Amino acid sequence: MATDNLSAVLYGKNDLRLEQTPIPEIGPDEVLLRMAQVGICGSDVSYLVRGSIGDFIVKAPMILGHESAGVVAKCGKNVKHLKPGDRVAIEPGVPCRMCDYCKGGTYNLCPDVVFCATPPYHGNLCRYYKHAADFCFKLPDHVTLEEGAILEPLSVGVHACRRAGVTLGSTVLVCGAGPIGLVNLLTAKAMGATKVCITDIAENRLKVAKDMGADHTILVSSGDAEAIAKEVEKVMGGMPDITIECSGAESSIRLGIFATKSGGMMVLVGLGPSEVKIPIVNAAVREVDIRGIFRYANCYPLALDMIASGKVNVKPLITHRFKLEETLKAFETARTGAGGAVKVMISCE
């Protein structure tokens, strides 16, 4: 029986430690997973740097990590669709399955969801982790475990593009070329968008976006949202039908409103300050709809199909790779963006 369960445990602000934790015992509907790949998300970095995200505050030691894939080591007695040795992607949020939100299909809004690495629940940046079997998705042989881990952010893109109504012929502005902006770029193109423009304050990220299929890129060098909106209209040959805002910055949200065509849609994906000042009257009188998203629901199957079919290629997102023993170095790379870091991946094997 394995005894090594090296885990990345966050004790508080800037206090991340590698230490042994107990290997969990599984229930009848759960699987024990030998963790393989875990990506570092911006939320992981926020917990490390700030000790909190909004109302979610780290009050007790918490294992980080939720963008993940692993190999089934053991199955609970009720688990029929998986067996030891299966490689799986892990959808990190397990809802109650009983409330009106769950029964209505919007289980991401379940008030009792247990989400990896969201206080007070542990994540899976460790050797062994248990999870609800029905939220584990078996990977085809040709899909790598790294790609399985990327299913998590890709599902955010799927949910955002669904909420935005992206379809064949859509023109789309994506604000922010970080990992979430890039998966929205990939998803929008896969769903039929004919023109996608992406903005960012970093030239190196715009180059990655261009390499991944962006039709236009705009380097944002000022906070003049209206002027940048005019530039978007010029390079796209018209105002975009849809804006997907992935930075959370106030100036970028303002840009989204000014840039979106009348009667269009803006979806807010990025999480920034709890309150921002935006030109809401401009949106109202031009009938620009504004929607939010929270994580995703029923998106993993489509995200997996998109990768398995070759419709999207997420491999270029991964710029840096580390071993579990190098977790502190990996987080420093993700935090600083050193070496043009986009997605930092940690191998737990």
Query: Per-residue pLDDT averaged across 265-292, rounded?
Result: 96
Q: From CA 87, how far away is CA 148, in angstroms rounded?
A: 9
Whether 146 maps to a domain, the answer reads no
Share of the chain above pLDDT 70, in %: 100
284 and 338, same domain (yes or no): no
Q: Is the pLDDT of residue 1 over 80?
A: no
Query: Per-residue pLDDT averaged across 7-34, rounded?
Result: 97
Whether 305 maps to a domain, the answer reads no
What's the whole-model pTM score? 0.96
Domain with residue 69: its CATH number is 3.90.180.10
Q: Are 190 and 342 in contact (CB under 8 A)?
A: no
The total domain count for the chain is 2
207 and 173, same domain (yes or no): yes
Query: Per-residue pLDDT averaged across 184-196, rounded?
Result: 98
Query: Per-residue pLDDT averaged across 177-201, rounded?
Result: 97
Whether 302 maps to a domain, the answer reads no
Whether 309 maps to a domain, the answer reads no
Domain with residue 206: its CATH number is 3.40.50.720
Q: Decide which of 307 and 55 is more confident.
A: 307
Query: Per-residue pLDDT averaged across 164-184, rounded?
Result: 98
Could you report the per-residue pLDDT of 113-131, keeping only the tens digit for each? 999 999 999 999 999 999 9
Could you report the per-residue pLDDT of 158-167, keeping only the tens digit for each? 999 999 999 9
Q: From CA 65, how far away is CA 239, in angstroms rounded?
A: 38
123 and 226, same domain (yes or no): no
95 and 132, same domain (yes or no): yes
125 and 30, same domain (yes or no): yes
The boundaries of the domain holding residue 215 are 157-292
Q: Which of 23, 41, 11, 30 is nearest to 127 (CA)?
A: 23
Q: What is the pLDDT of residue 271?
A: 87
Classify burial at 2, counting beta carbons within 10 Å of its beta carbon; exposed 0-12, middle 13-18, buried 19 or more: exposed
340 and 288, same domain (yes or no): no
